Amino acid sequence: MKLDGIFPPIATPFDHNGDLYLAKLKHNVEKWNRTKLAGYVVCGSTGESVMLTREEKVKLWETVKEGAAPNKLLIAGTGMESVRETAELTNLAAALGYQAAMVRTPHYYKNLISSGEAQALYYRAVADRSKIPLIIYNWPQVTGVDIPARTVVELAGHPNIIAVKESSGNIEKTMYMVNHAPPGFQVLVGSAPTLWPSLMVGAVGAILAFANAAPYTCISIYEAFRTREDKAAVDLQKRATPAAVAVTVKYGIPGLKYAMDLNGYYGGPPRLPLVPPGVEAKREIEEAFREIKG
């Protein structure tokens, strides 16, 4: 399974009562289908997965599966704290037609599971029980757990673990995994501000929250890299970085959803306790996205 290209971890649309707004999800998917996005990640962190019930996740998986173009690869975010629930969710997604699962590092009991050995045990146990291949998902800025590069390389030898999404923005770590993992293992990144340099050191693609609001910009950077138009790639990266930082690092999901609204997608409100951006934040996002088209 090739994971080359750009994948958005789809933002979950809610109405103003906080309920799933599936009609707007269909609208977004229909628009994304017209792009060269490689596929969709459903129920990742950007999808506010920690705020969703199991039943809601199933509805989202079903809706995206129904609306996605046939050439789009479907990845389900299934990571939970226990091996049992993660494997159950992964196999449920598999039954619905998803081709891979993205599994975040467990992190609640940090004093017990932050070591490479504990993380390796978790991923091996989930992979052994899963009917579709796994993508390791590392986002230490949020979880407080940074799975060691050596552990990822070790896990890359498991036949049912095919990739890692490295969202730390650490280029050296990305390079280490690219250079030391066995052939066939794929490294993706999750940091839009470091997309181009990550591709330059061997990442095959990216799973980017920023791509929800600016898919064409992300795809353009990837295509410029692929066709070796380095000058264009650097220019695109420089112009995209302020907007990407605003809606990922600074204002997070609420800011990203507002940027989606600006660019013709439905972002809508986040789920409480997250709150929409205020007046000043909106003004900053509008300025950052002035030349960033959806």
Instruction: Read off the pLDDT of residues 45-101 as tens digits, 9 standing for 90 and up.
Output: 999 999 999 999 999 999 999 999 999 999 999 999 999 999 999 999 999 999 999
Phi-psi region of 18 (alpha: psi -120 to 50; beta: other; left: phi over 0): left
**Closest to 90 (Cα-Cα) out of 126, 143, 63:** 126
The position carrying tokens 């290209």 is 5
| Residue among 130, 122, 62, 121 at smallest CA distance from 101 | 130
Crossing angle for the helix pair 252-262 and 279-288, nearest 10 degrees?
Answer: 60
pLDDT tens digits for range 130-168:
999 999 999 999 999 999 999 999 999 999 999 999 999
Burial of 6 (0-12, 13-18, 19+ CB in 10 A): buried
The ranges assigned to domains in the chain are 5-227
The CATH number corresponding to 5-227 among 3.40.50.720, 3.30.365.10, 3.20.20.70, 3.40.50.300 equals 3.20.20.70
Q: How far apart are CA 233 and CA 231, in angstroms?
A: 5
Reported confidence tier of residue 293, pLDDT bands at 50, 70, 90: confident
Q: Which residues are identified as catalytic?
A: 165
Instruction: Indicate the pTM of the whole model.
Output: 0.96
